[in-house]
Structure 1
Amino acid sequence: MSPDPSHRDDTLAVAPRNAPDGRLKFNGDNSFHRELRRRVEAEFKRSGTRERDSAQMYLKTAIILATFVLAYAALVFFAAAWWQSVPLAIVLGVATAAIGFNIMHDGGHQAYSEHRGVNRLMALALDMVGGSSYIWRWKHARFHHTWVNVAGHDSDIDLGALGRLSPLQPRRPWHRWQHIYLWPLYGVTAIRWHLYGDFRDMLTGTVGERPFTRPRGRDLAGFIIGKLVFFTLAFGLPLAFHSIGSVLMVYMLVSAVAGVLLALVFQMAHVVEEAAFPVPDATGLQMATPWAIHQLETTVDFARGNRVLGWLIGGLNFQVEHHLFPRISHVHYPLVARVVEETCREFGVTYREHRTFGAGIASHYRWLRALGRPETRAVAALAEAPALPG
């Protein structure tokens, strides 16, 4: 059975190449998902809380954007020595990641506002900092959110030959050391988006292994203007005041900080020991579980009690809640989490969580190391999600 219609904007399934009827489908009884949605809606009504258009979110947006503008202006117009540029570049990198985690992410998932225009404007914040909100909508909101951790369908776990994140992906000899070399390479994640990834996707018409509809009209104009704005901010304006060497060094540092933060938040939610990597049936057209159960099997929360971290990364330490309710603003995830955890207990569904940030990092490290070793277990066994200890 396909995902619930309430998620249509965020989880539009696009036909796999071997699926003549249009999509890789989910199977099973959706009673858990229906009851969970009913309870979450009831909790919002009981508390008198709006799912979107939160004053808290608008204030947060102002703080993040102000930090970005002030750090950028200080770097371009006032910084004259390395000891001034380095801390400012780190702040700018964190602010860039925060724009993606908070403003753009809620806007792209239609979770920022009830008004489509406001959501689109907030999603365009990604274009300002070097990505493409249009391609992101296909890559993340559609492919990833529909088919989490399904190799060949979820492009977010596809590093090509560079790394092996799923047991269903082929192992290369150099993957033996991926638990070491991938960490610094996470720092080039943002640079790859800026200079290669989006352009490659546009030229080939594919995201990972999956085709997508190239932008036209307003979407194409947004892509082009966004890239022009970003390259002007990243290189054009700074080169009027600083040497090319200084500009490139600051660009790489800002991008490395943002890239590491962006990569790690995703990896700790899905590419860890406790997350499943399910396989479609023999036809390649059907998953064995309902959509909501699939989200819970493939997603792991982390450090839910860390309010500072949660504020910075847009509540994405509550990844389970985000995947089940992508159109609810992230500022409400703690409220949603209480309902989700209680409902999971009643239905006997495993709720996966790492209690600390460090535990999530360690689990990701062990998973990379395990997948880099020569096969010692059957792929099917590796694809199963082990229960969390304790």
Structure 2
Amino acid sequence: MEHLNRPIYLKPGTDDFFKKIRKEVNETVLQNSSLYQFNIIKSLGLVVFFFLFYACILWLGNSTPLLFLFYILSGITMIVLFINAFHDAAHGALFKKSKHNKWFMYLLELFGSNHWLWTRRHINLHHAYPNVPDWDVDIKQSDIIRIFPNSPLYHYHKYQHIYMWFIYPLYSLNWIYIRDFKDFFSKKDNYVKKVVDKIPTKEVYMLFTAKAINLFYLLFIPMLVLNQPWHIILLGWITMHMCGSALGVVALVSTHVDEDAHFPGTDDEGNLSATWALHQMIVTKDFSTNSKLANFLYGGFTHHVAHHLFPSVGHTYYPYITPIIKRYAEEYGLPYTSYPFHHAIRSHFRMLKDKGGHDNILTAGEI
């Protein structure tokens, strides 16, 4: 893998808008302790609901419709739990004490993922350098899809706005059973190893153990205790992942990768052209901020600009931070975008169609 200089942001000036936003948020919004308590209640409640739905699989799963119903509810709850609780805990934003966030993150292993890997992948790469080519691993995951303008353009990309409708529902299966192993063991284009000197041996054991436990209780135990053909249970398990992934992908594609997305590059020394805070505003979008349902399901993703500016703050605070950000955006002439989720989805797939076209070779600098 070629050597790349770590991106460097411009230093903020004396009249930095983010210093003012941060001061106002600290003095007003963050004083509301009830929002902190609500976040904990919500997160622990989601854990309870997931295992309640799992218990219903074992209890009522001899009925095929109920088997699929509770697998689907488990998949939706799994993704909502990840987007809200685990996402906040990874940022140290769920509990006040870091050790409590760390303990809670171990629950992620029950869902088949590796919290040590994901924390470094998400925070050290995506949050540090969102939308920066060759650094944001949350966007650059596979050559199956072309998003970055400097990514290779293959003939099949002209159909990506069609076939990604069928691939996105497999997102969690890919994450747990392919991507984690790739980031642990692959040597080609391994972006995680840019920010990790050495993967602890303990985490390698944890990786395999988490996958085994996840498969055992979600797939094999139902096969053992239910009076259902194995292939029906397997199909229910796959449906769980597909429904959960379909819900989660809305958040993933709505916040950074629409048809107006920016992908700021660096010069030969690794310098970016904006400060850290301005960069977050340029590359991040909000969606459905006025929807209580969307805010409950998607947590820090609907108010994603607030999340990128205040990643160590729990998502329950963001609806109260966003109006402050919008006010300063108008005062300083800063970019700020918020749109309904259906517009975000439509815009994302228009972007895929545009990035898959051969006429983009001239603008992408690939010849």
* Fold equivalence (TM over 0.5): yes
Change (3 A) 1:229 1:336: same
Counterpart-to-counterpart distance in 1, 2:90 and 2:245 = 19
Counterpart-to-counterpart distance in 2, 1:261 and 1:207 = 28
Change (3 A) 1:223 1:161: closer
Q: CA deviation at 1:220?
A: 4.9
Residue 13 of structure 1: aligned partner: none
Aligned mate of 1:198, from 180, 198, 202 = 180
Gaps of 5+ in 1: 1-15, 382-390
Residue 332 of structure 2: aligned partner: 347
Moved more, 90-99 or 62-71: 62-71
Q: CA deviation at 1:207?
A: 7.3
Q: CA deviation at 1:95?
A: 0.4
Aligned mate of 1:373, from 323, 337, 357 = 357
Aligned mate of 2:231, from 219, 236, 245 = 245
Q: CA deviation at 1:29?
A: 2.6
1:103-139 CA-partner distances (Å, limit 9, x unpaired):
1111001011111121112222322112111111121
Aligned mate of 2:295, from 307, 310, 314 = 310
Aligned mate of 1:141, from 123, 127, 148 = 123
The answer to whether structure 1 residue 322 and structure 2 residue 304 are counterparts is: no
Change (3 A) 1:192 1:371: same
Residue 89 of structure 2: aligned partner: 107
Q: CA deviation at 1:278?
A: 0.9
Residue 162 of structure 2: aligned partner: 180
Q: Which amino acid aligns with 2:247?
A: L
Counterpart-to-counterpart distance in 2, 1:49 and 1:75 = 39
Change (3 A) 1:223 1:195: closer
Moved more, 86-95 or 199-208: 199-208
Q: CA deviation at 1:217?
A: 6.1
The answer on whether the counterparts of 1:144 and 1:153 sit within 8 Å (CA) in structure 2 is: yes
The answer on whether the counterparts of 1:51 and 1:328 sit within 8 Å (CA) in structure 2 is: no
Determine what percentage of the aligned residue pairs are the same residue.
23
The answer on whether the counterparts of 1:129 and 1:230 sit within 8 Å (CA) in structure 2 is: yes
Q: CA deviation at 1:247?
A: 2.5
Moved more, 330-339 or 34-43: 34-43
The answer to whether structure 1 residue 278 and structure 2 residue 264 are counterparts is: yes
Q: Secondary structure at the match of 1:26?
A: strand
Q: CA deviation at 1:218?
A: 5.7
Per the normalisation by structure 1, the TM-score is 0.86
Q: Secondary structure at the match of 2:261?
A: coil
Moved more, 228-237 or 175-184: 228-237
1:262-307 CA-partner distances (Å, limit 9, x unpaired):
22211110110232111112x1511011011111111110000111
The answer to whether structure 1 residue 92 and structure 2 residue 112 are counterparts is: no
Residue 154 of structure 1: aligned partner: 136
Residue 5 of structure 1: aligned partner: none
Counterpart-to-counterpart distance in 2, 1:28 and 1:68 = 45
Q: Which amino acid aligns with 1:36?
A: I
Per the normalisation by structure 2, the TM-score is 0.91
Change (3 A) 1:238 1:163: same
Residue 212 of structure 2: aligned partner: 228
Q: CA deviation at 1:214?
A: 4.4
The answer on whether the counterparts of 2:80 and 2:248 sit within 8 Å (CA) in structure 1 is: no
The answer on whether the counterparts of 1:71 and 1:88 sit within 8 Å (CA) in structure 2 is: yes
Counterpart-to-counterpart distance in 1, 2:114 and 2:46 = 20
Counterpart-to-counterpart distance in 2, 1:116 and 1:254 = 32
Q: Secondary structure at the match of 1:113?
A: coil
Q: Which amino acid aligns with 1:233?
A: Y
RMSD between superposed Cα atoms in Å: 2.2
The answer on whether the counterparts of 2:258 and 2:344 sit within 8 Å (CA) in structure 1 is: yes
Aligned length: 358
Aligned mate of 1:40, from 13, 19, 25 = 25
Matches within 5 A, 1:210-229: 210-211=192-193, 212-216=196-200, 219-220=203-204, 222-229=206-213
Gaps of 5+ in 2: none
Matches within 5 A, 1:16-31: 17-19=3-5, 23-30=6-13, 31=16
Residue 279 of structure 2: aligned partner: 294
Moved more, 26-35 or 312-321: 26-35
Q: Which amino acid aligns with 2:234?
A: L
Q: CA deviation at 1:208?
A: 4.2
Aligned mate of 1:255, from 241, 255, 267 = 241
Q: Secondary structure at the match of 1:375?
A: helix
Q: CA deviation at 1:378?
A: 5.1
Q: Secondary structure at the match of 1:287?
A: strand
Q: CA deviation at 1:186?
A: 0.7
Residue 253 of structure 2: aligned partner: 267
Change (3 A) 1:262 1:27: same
Moved more, 231-240 or 93-102: 231-240
Q: CA deviation at 1:205?
A: 6.3
The answer on whether the counterparts of 1:108 and 1:122 sit within 8 Å (CA) in structure 2 is: no
